[in-house]
Structure 1
Amino acid sequence: MSYVVIATMIAKPGQEELVEKTLREAAADVHAEPGCARWALHRKTGTTGHFVMVEKWESKEALHTHGKGAALAGVGRALKDALEGPADVAVFDALPAGDAEKGAL
């Protein structure tokens, strides 16, 4: 079973570039983590500081390891004073439906 994560982060005014740069730079390391099927950064349309990370992990263990890993720890250190508050992280069980390519992440 795969796990989908939606993580929302809101940058403090003036910190938008730092947040985006930090997340972009972490991507290569996170993508190399075992079990990472997707870690994709998005910005809410019409905003400069509302970021959403869409993730897909191949197992609960891979997601847990990511949460304790060096890449995410580095992001946390870099952004500790740059966000309005803690990231809002929600984990979902995938429920594929319909077309296999369109009905699941």
Structure 2
Amino acid sequence: MNQNDVVVVIATLEAADGKESQVEEALRTAVRAVHAEPGCERYALHRASSSPTTFVMVEKWASGQALRVHGKGPALAELGKTLDGLLAKPMDLQILTPLPDGDPQLGAL
């Protein structure tokens, strides 16, 4: 794998009030499915320390092509259906190009 091909994604989702547990369970289900997808190097769920309704997925994909396949895959399609009506606003998606520096283990995901 060429480090230049790697894509990092930060997806932030805001659960509607009272829907936090449903959103968390849907995301956990997606995590287990996505881990088996080709090119998935990291797909890690987090909750914001300052807000119990805010969930953040940190993703690392071997390539833009792997991310595109993921975006059209069954796990994301199912997640979209499950989250329908459970979010306070649309998901915020940031697609990032890594700029590694310093220690290779510390300077990049």
TM, length-normalised to structure 1: 0.97
Residue 2 (structure 1) aligned with residue 6 (structure 2): yes
Structure 1 counterpart of 2:61 = 57
Describe the superposition over 1:67-89 as per-residue Cα deviations: whole angstroms up to 9, x where unpaired.
Answer: 11100111100001000121100
SS in 2 for 1:103: coil
Name which of 1, 16, 20 aligns with 1:16: 20
Aligned to 1:84: 88
Q: Distance in 2 between matches of 1:35 and 1:71?
A: 14
Match of 1:66 among 43, 67, 70: 70
Query: What per-residue deviation string (whole Å, max 9, x for no partner) do you get for residues 3-57 of structure 1?
Result: 0000000000010000001101111110000000000000000321100000000
- Does residue 30 of the first structure (1) align with residue 34 of the second (2)? yes
Structure 2, unmatched stretches of 5+, are: none
Contiguous gaps of at least 5 residues in structure 1:
none
Over 2 Å off, 4+ runs? none
Tell me the number of residue pairs that the alignment of Structure 1 and Structure 2 aligns. Answer: 105
User: Normalising by the residue count of structure 2, what TM-score does the alignment of the two structures yield?
Assistant: 0.94
What is the root-mean-square deviation in Å for CA atoms of aligned residues?
0.7
